[in-house]
Amino acid sequence: MSAPQPPFDPWQAPQPPFDPRRGPLPPLEPRQVPHPPFDPRQPPMPPGGDRGSGLELFGIIAGAVLTVVAGLPMLLFIDVVVQAHFGPPREDPHGYPELFGSVIAVMLSGPTSSGLIILIVCAVLRRQRKRRRMAQQSYDDRLHP
């Protein structure tokens, strides 16, 4: 008969694996993977740092403007469609606001989603450029104290 197992305690340190023929196995050593702060294939940055071309900032502003300019009318047309659908039928017997409002809202969803995509992509690119600049600066500080 085997010895009873103690109840599982998630706060207890994990035990090394056990092999019945050889006893407990030695703990696994963590792999030491060198993680450089920058890609060594990249050319070194100029002395002033990587300031960027300003294209990301322009994309962020253009994406935000496009999203707001196309998104607000889209939301207003969606509101018209919802009010026509759930409103009293004697105010709109033919359903034209529901028909045309939904078509126009679908047409405005294209520029709205395009503006959001431009905004998100440019913001991510700007953040990556900033992180790469900070990593290069910390590497330079360690290299030339």
User: How much is the pTM?
Assistant: 0.58
User: Which of these, 79, 127, 69, lies nearest to 105 by C-alpha position?
Assistant: 79
Residue type, 67: T
pLDDT at 9: 64
Distance CA 122, CA 55 (A): 8
Q: Which residues pair with 18 in a beta bridge?
A: 24
| CA dist 71 → 17, 31, 75, 120, 121 (Å) | 57, 50, 6, 16, 18
Tell me the torsion sign for CA atoms 121, 127, 131, 134. Answer: positive
Provide DSSP, 85-103: HHS-TTT-SS-HHHHHHHH
**Per-residue pLDDT at 95:** 86
Element (H, E) at 34: none
Encode the chain (145 residues) as per-residue pLDDT tens digits. 566 766 666 566 556 566 667 666 666 666 555 555 555 566 555 555 555 668 888 999 999 999 999 999 999 999 999 999 998 888 888 889 999 999 999 999 999 999 999 999 999 988 888 888 777 777 667 666 5
